[in-house]
Chains A and B, each alone.
Chain A
Amino acid sequence: DAKTTQPTSMDCAEGRAANLPCNHSTISGNEYVYWYRQIHSQGPQYIIHGLKNNETNEMASLIITEDRKSSTLILPHATLRDTAVYYCIGYNAGGTSYGKLTFGQGTILTVHP
């Protein structure tokens, strides 16, 4: 699975959009980009995933560049409850890592009033 690189930390004002970048320059053609988040002392929570098209759900939007080497998770109207560690993960269902997710250190997003 592709190695992903994320900034260590980011800040965002409440009510504004939070844009969290992720680089995955070695991603393979059939490898998905998954995003999870972990609020302090809780288990991680799935947010969204995509292959090459942009995706949107009730939690967030995922924008994947055309060359698929990077992506951005967008929280359109961040609230204080969105303060968490956000993990960007590359996952290949057909590979030897079937079922396994590799969590890096993620981005600590702090939403402030």
Chain B
Amino acid sequence: DGGITQSPKYLFRKEGQNVTLSCEQNLNHDAMYWYRQDPGQGLRLIYYSQIVNDFQKGDIAEGYSVSREKKESFPLTVTSAQKNPTAFYLCASNHLPEHNEQFFGPGTRLTVL
């Protein structure tokens, strides 16, 4: 099946630890995205990448880092510099350029204790 996967579904970490969230897609999509969602809120864009080895900051990039070494993979690291890391993290991918139908993964719920 073609799709986008995120792992793990639930993640718990102690405050001050870095944590990396996985996102993999086998849709052969060029672009990939990371969003954060807080309870009762819409999605906010953290980082996005339109091509391998290139990525751009979104609206709330501080405290996060990404890499795009392979087309199918776009891991997100939540660093200890992120002040409120507890949230629901969603990864998405799509073909560009004109039609912006993004395909989303199931999400990772991160809780920092």
User: Hey, which bits of chain A sit against chain B, CB under 8 A?
Assistant: 32, 34, 36, 41-46, 49, 87, 91, 93, 98-106
Contact = CB atoms under 8 A, between A and B. Distances in A.
B104 interface: yes
B100 A99 contact: yes
Given A103-B42, A103-B43, A42 B101 contact: no
A49 B99 CA distance: 9
Interface of B: 31, 33, 35, 40-45, 48, 50, 58, 88, 90, 92, 94, 96-107, 109
Nearest to B58: A100
Nearest to B96: A99
B104 A43 contact: yes
A98 B56 CA distance: 11
Nearest to B4: A43
Contacts of A101: 45, 100, 102
Contacts of B103: 46
Nearest to A34: B100
A105 B100 CA distance: 19
